[in-house]
Structure 1
């Protein structure tokens, strides 16, 4: 098993990325001194103690030269100050405006007529009171995910039992009774009595072949016994050869 450096999840040997968080997993490389296999993220070889062949020293870039100090040759000369104001360049003040007289004062307009009953608009009816809104629920109900398998050949939906960490898939037997019985489906003779297990780990579902006779296939690829595959919506699961008993994993 390979431990994920990010979430410490135990992954099967040969896995390239973590099946829980999809972080790339360290791979086996050969020691440059003794040739023994070791993980690519190891610092020293556990066999001969030599440093990891791919650990290199970092180099620092040379500091750039500081800019030259300012000299009298690159300091611009200050411009000459503007000449002071004189009587020749001060504009003469304009003559003041003439005082108001009776001829240029506009006559006051006549006052508006007092309001009467004829020009007072009738009061409109008061608006209706606002409708009280229902109080929002203080607690939000959490929706639980329901996992199911859609049988492709008969378009039958089989819901996975809730509350079980391990769901046994197969046909009735005396050793481990199945939690998901597929004996009533067509061509179920290719399915072993103890065929596969579906594990529910905090809402994440995995499938594992537990030693079936005709094998388990995920998306047309064989699932080696002892290895498990993280199920995602749309994954195609075939129990046995020939793609005769096929399911599509769904979440709702």
Structure 2
């Protein structure tokens, strides 16, 4: 309760205290600081301060112009389980179930029946470009980039955020390609 003064005309014309009986508004607790937010890709709670989702490894926060992975590493983030493959600049990685032909990828593609033993390659050039090529003999269930079907032996340049499908059940997202420099005006 608070005290207010009012003019008293009946007595001797002086200010007298008047008690305010209106209830004061309830005090609200300040909201606790946020502990994180939901990943746009997989809805996992990402703790505040993290740069990528702990589940799907997607970058979080506002996109940064020219942002690439430290050291120029290209990352292929597979759907579900946080599996990924890193491709350093100037190297190539093979994608498939054959552990002799694709040793890195076969570790987690070995049980994927819709992926061919020798499916495709990803080349990350020294200048930062990335290229996907389906094997020349073709992959049994095909390869798609953003729903575009690749022909056997053909290659396509990858961009940050592209979705690549190795058959109908396995896909990954391309991360870490910096934006290409703008071409000079003629």
Give the TM-score of the pair, scaled to structure 2.
Answer: 0.50
* Greater relative contact order, per chain length (Cα 8 Å cut-off, separation 6+): 2
Give the TM-score of the pair, scaled to structure 1.
Answer: 0.38
Say which one has the larger Rg: 1
